[in-house]
Amino acid sequence: MKSAKSVLKKIKGDASFRYFYRKTNNKKNSIIVYATKEKENNLLIYDAINSLLIENKILAPKLYKENYKQNFIEIEDFGDDTVFKLLKKSGSNKINLYKKSIDLLNKIQKITQHTIKDFNGKNYKIPIYKDNKLFEEAKLFSDWYAKKYISKKKLPTFNIEINRQIKFLLSNLKLKNDTFVHRDFHVSNLMKYRKELATIDTQDALIGNRAYDLASLIDDVRFKSNKKLKDNIYNYYLKLNKKKINRVILLNDFEILSVIRNMKIIGIFSRLALRDKKVKYLKFIPYAWRLIELRIKNNEIFYKLKNLLDFNFPKKIRNVK
């Protein structure tokens, strides 16, 4: 009897340096993740975080096989039904899908384990999401985006001012860095699998502020949602956590981290276009601006930042894809 041949088919990747292939063998599917650049993060740490999630009864891709020397791992295949795809379907129950996403986030945020063995047998301890890390990420806005629109003569002064405002905002965060943060918790990284929600793309997880993933989900640059839906999702999270969260403090941190994150996204997507020739990410920048505008318009803490951005980036610039 002839053994069934495995078939590999390249599938859509993400903004990382990984390549993904669906392996089909006798109607059984798996995913091959291949990476030579940032290999430790994209293969070793990715599986370690997935293993930690699985240990805590969170659905994440299981490891089937690893060949680190040959730059790949083989993991569980959750199919193609991302929450993003489901939201895009006509007649989809958007609030229900988001509530299930919040339920998953709530489970993730209950994880207290911060160390896991990787497949090489070494302990991996999830790092803390410190303010200097958040600052360096937000600075990508000026490093890769602002320099396109501000003259070389004015750029040094702008950088000093924007960096001062980023540091000011970070100094006003109130919640502790004590919560598992996926760090890319949005609807394209959530999958419907066997009537449950699973999470993928976990390799960048850190221990940080509980408002970060909430902001990632609600103010998601990839999926446009109206203010009413955003408020309903936020309020559902509040309802689930009303006994352990101060509403004022959560909103403060949520708005700051949403703005910081979307500044980072504008910087990253500009870098992807300029450095890596991945110009498709530029289309998200106008909506990232709208999300920043949404959060800074009614909060005095953003007063100086708003004036700085309004002066240097008029509507005409913000709408450029």
Per-residue model confidence (pLDDT) at position 4: 57
Q: Which residues contact 30 (CB under 8 A, 6 or more apart)?
A: 22, 23, 64, 74, 75, 76, 77
Query: Using CA atoms, how far apart are residues 321 and 311, in angstroms rounded to an integer?
Result: 20
For 38-64, what is the mean pLDDT? 97
CB atoms within 10 A of CB 205: 28
Query: Using CA atoms, how far apart are residues 280 and 209, in angstroms rounded to an integer?
Result: 30
DSSP bridge pairs for 63: 75
- Model confidence pLDDT, tens digit, residues 171-220: 999 999 999 999 999 999 999 999 999 999 999 999 999 999 999 999 99
CB atoms within 10 A of CB 179: 20
- CA 206 to chain CA centroid, Å, is 11
Q: Are 147 and 237 in contact (CB under 8 A)?
A: no
Does the residue 314 lie in any domain? yes
Coil vs helix vs strand at 7: strand
- DSSP H helices, 172-284, are 211-218, 227-240, 247-274
Amino acid at 63: L
Does the residue 24 lie in any domain? no
- Model confidence pLDDT, tens digit, residues 206-265: 999 999 999 999 999 999 999 999 999 999 999 999 888 999 999 999 999 999 999 999
- CA 262 to chain CA centroid, Å, is 10
Question: Where is 20: in which H helix or E strand?
Answer: strand 19-25
Query: Using CA atoms, how far apart are residues 71 and 132, in angstroms rounded to an integer?
Result: 31
DSSP bridge pairs for 208: 179
Does the residue 73 lie in any domain? no
Domain count across the chain: 1
Does the residue 19 lie in any domain? no
- The structure's pTM equals 0.94
Which two structure tokens, joined as six digits, stand for 236?
A: 């559902």
Does the residue 303 lie in any domain? yes
Does the residue 98 lie in any domain? yes
Does the residue 35 lie in any domain? no
Q: What is the CATH number of the domain that holds 85?
A: 3.90.1200.10
CA angle 219, 266, 182 (to 5 degrees): 50
| Residue 296 lies in domain | 80-112+126-318
Band of pLDDT at residue 26, cut at 50, 70 and 90: confident
- Reference 179, options 206, 199, 198; nearest CA is 206
Question: Where is 83: in which H helix or E strand?
Answer: helix 83-88
Q: Which DSSP string corresponds to 127-184? A: PB--HHHHHHHHTHIIIIIGGGTS-TTTHHHHHHHHHHHHHHHHHT--S-S-EEE-S-
Does the residue 3 lie in any domain? no
What percent of the chain has a predicted confidence (pLDDT) above 70? Answer: 98
Residue 230 is given by DSSP the state: H
CA angle 219, 225, 231 (to 5 degrees): 70
Per-residue model confidence (pLDDT) at position 3: 47
Residue 217 phi, psi (nearest 5): -75, -50
DSSP bridge pairs for 125: 115
